[in-house]
Amino acid sequence: MADKNNVDKAKKALLNAVTKGVTKAVEYVEGQAVLNAPVDSGALSQSIDHSVDTTTKEVTGEVGTNSEYFIYVEKGTGEHATNGQGRKTPWRFQLPNGDWITTTGQKPQPFLEPAFKNNVNRIQQFISDEIKGVDI
């Protein structure tokens, strides 16, 4: 019975360590995304947030935004869209003051994806450091 207790303690300690590491990682990535985000009103950067979900078997971290327009900023629109599926012809729309604008879209200004992709090694290190600190 002592062996099972030790295994259970080790599992709990490792899960806690991974949770701490993932929490540090998503907090870091969130900070990088905020730094990367273009600022107009500040609403986009202020909407960036993170979450960590821990079950008995896994730890999941997530960084994102609830902004309705973030994808247009991240990936671009029209002929500038990164996936190549944006509209290929210019379009017009009217501003509230009555002026008309013609556009070919918005160039992408990625902020979330680079916050993750440019920091994969650092993310792994946050988790690894916490696991190394576990005394089993």
With contact defined as beta carbons under 8 Å apart, do 32 and 118 qualify? Answer: yes
Neighbours of 60 (CB within 10 A): 11
Q: What is the DSSP string of 59-114?
A: EEEEEEE--TTHHHHHH--GGG-TTS-S-SS-EEEE-TTS-EEEES-------HHH
Residue pLDDT tens, the chain, 136 long: 567 788 889 899 999 999 999 999 999 999 999 999 999 889 999 999 999 999 999 999 999 999 999 999 999 999 999 988 899 999 999 999 999 999 999 999 999 999 999 999 999 999 999 999 888 7
Angle at 56 between CA 54 and CA 57, to 5 degrees: 90
Q: Is this model's pTM higher than 0.85 or not?
A: yes
Beta carbons within 8 Å of 135's beta carbon, 6+ residues apart: 13
